[in-house]
């Protein structure tokens, strides 16, 4: 290629770039990383990686540049491939700020499959270690569940107990927090008490009820709040919401439905 031709190509591509540049409305600018995502200095894979955004983290999309998005993540700004940034529409549930609320009224899309949140897992491991210092054993026995898995599980319960009863203790597909990758079912040393009412009187359950908020976990289906959550008491089910919100929920004693002034999460009848 001659020097002149090369210059022309550069000029042409720069023009194309300007033409495809568009501002993204601030109101709908939150996007969720579909996978672990590289944030780069420019809009191509040849640019340097600024930081790696963990799966399921929210970023602010500032503008578009071809198939790339300029995004803000914490204090960092860079470029990420637009196809790996999920819109609220593609996720479902209800996003309030950077918190994703899922309940019987606010189901997730069947195609939303983020896997276990690495942020929630890291928080759990930190909590597990702290508990161990106090001779408390914590085991996350069920975390991420796909839509298909939840569907199979729910269908099994319906076959055993019927739809209405099953709906009080098991989420219908799309309505489980486990599909977000942020729902953690936690047990103690005795595995026979996993997901059982009897877990509530164990020292592990008491430790969790008192301390889990420090690590960002919220007891999602508390005793006496069944009419708000739509679920019976689950002393083992925790939702990772981050330490700030977990502390606010703990201090107020509110469910996510009450805190965000949402409709009670009533189990749906067929
Ligand atoms: Zn659970």
Instruction: Give tens-digit pLDDT for 203-256.
Output: 999 999 999 999 999 999 999 999 999 888 999 999 999 999 999 999 999 999
Measured in Å, residue 1 CA sits from the centre of ligand 1 at 62
Domains of the chain: 3-86 (2.30.30.40), 94-259 (3.30.1380.10)
Instruction: Give tens-digit pLDDT for 38-96.
Output: 999 999 999 999 999 999 999 999 999 999 999 999 999 999 999 999 999 999 999 99
Measured in Å, residue 185 CA sits from the centre of ligand 1 at 5
Measured in Å, residue 50 CA sits from the centre of ligand 1 at 35
Residue 2 pLDDT > 80: no
Residue 16 pLDDT > 60: no
CB-CB contact of 191 with 141 (8 Å) = yes
Quote the pTM value: 0.86
The sheet carrying 139-142 orders its strands as 139-142, 183-187, 237-240, 217-219
Q: Can you name the residues that pair with 96 across neighbouring β-strands?
A: 99
Backbone angles phi, psi at 150, to 5 degrees: -65, -35
Q: What is the DSSP letter of 189?
A: S
pLDDT of residue 19: 39
Measured in Å, residue 144 CA sits from the centre of ligand 1 at 9
Q: Residue 241: name the closest of 265, 219, 221, 226 by CA.
A: 219
Measured in Å, residue 128 CA sits from the centre of ligand 1 at 17
Residue 22 binned pLDDT confidence (cut-offs 50, 70, 90): low
CB-CB contact of 268 with 163 (8 Å) = no
Instruction: Give tens-digit pLDDT for 174-213.
Output: 999 999 999 999 999 999 999 999 999 999 999 999 999 9
Residue 24 pLDDT > 60: no
Task: Give the span between the Cα atoms of 206 and 212, in whole angstroms.
Answer: 10
Q: How far is CA 236 from CA 40, 205, 257, in A?
A: 40, 7, 19
Measured in Å, residue 99 CA sits from the centre of ligand 1 at 18
Measured in Å, residue 203 CA sits from the centre of ligand 1 at 19
Distance of CA 16 to the CA centre of its chain: 37
Measured in Å, residue 236 CA sits from the centre of ligand 1 at 7
Name the region of 230 (left: φ>0; alpha: ψ -120 to 50; beta: rest).
Answer: left
pLDDT of residue 91: 98
Task: Give the span between the Cα atoms of 82 and 71, in whole angstroms.
Answer: 10
For 124, the 3-state DSSP assignment is helix
pLDDT of residue 169: 82
Q: What is the DSSP letter of 45?
A: T
- 159, exposed or middle or buried, with CB in 10 Å at 0-12, 13-18, 19+? exposed
The token duo for 177 is 């927090």
The token duo for 131 is 């508990």
Task: Give the span between the Cα atoms of 152 and 158, in whole angstroms.
Answer: 10
């Amino acid at each position: 290629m001659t020097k002149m031709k090369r210059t022309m190509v550069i000029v042409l591509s720069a023009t194309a770039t300007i033409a495809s540049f568009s501002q993204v409305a601030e109101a709908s600018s939150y996007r969720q990383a579909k996978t672990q995502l590289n944030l780069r200095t420019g809009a191509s894979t040849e640019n340097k990686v600024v930081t790696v955004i963990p799966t399921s983290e929210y970023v602010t999309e500032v503008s578009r540049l071809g198939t790339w998005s300029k995004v803000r993540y914490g204090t960092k700004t860079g470029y990420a491939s637009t196809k790996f940034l999920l819109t609220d529409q593609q996720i479902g549930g209800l996003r309030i700020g950077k918190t994703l609320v899922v309940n019987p009224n606010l189901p997730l899309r069947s195609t939303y499959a983020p896997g276990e949140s690495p942020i929630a897992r890291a928080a759990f491991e930190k909590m597990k270690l702290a508990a161990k210092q106090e001779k408390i054993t914590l085991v996350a026995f069920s975390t991420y569940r796909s839509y298909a898995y939840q569907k199979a599980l729910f269908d099994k319960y319906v076959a055993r107990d019927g739809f209405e009863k099953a709906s009080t203790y098991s989420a219908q597909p799309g309505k489980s927090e486990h599909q977000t990758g942020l729902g953690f079912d936690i047990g103690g040393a005795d595995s026979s008490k996993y997901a059982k009412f009897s877990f509530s009187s164990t020292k592990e359950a008491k430790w969790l009820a008192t301390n889990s908020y420090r690590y960002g976990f919220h007891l999602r289906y508390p005793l006496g709040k069944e009419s708000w959550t739509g679920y019976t008491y689950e002393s083992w089910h925790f939702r990772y919401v981050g330490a700030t919100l977990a502390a606010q929920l703990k201090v107020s004693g509110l469910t996510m439905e009450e805190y965000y002034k949402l409709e009670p999460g009533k189990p749906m009848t067929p």
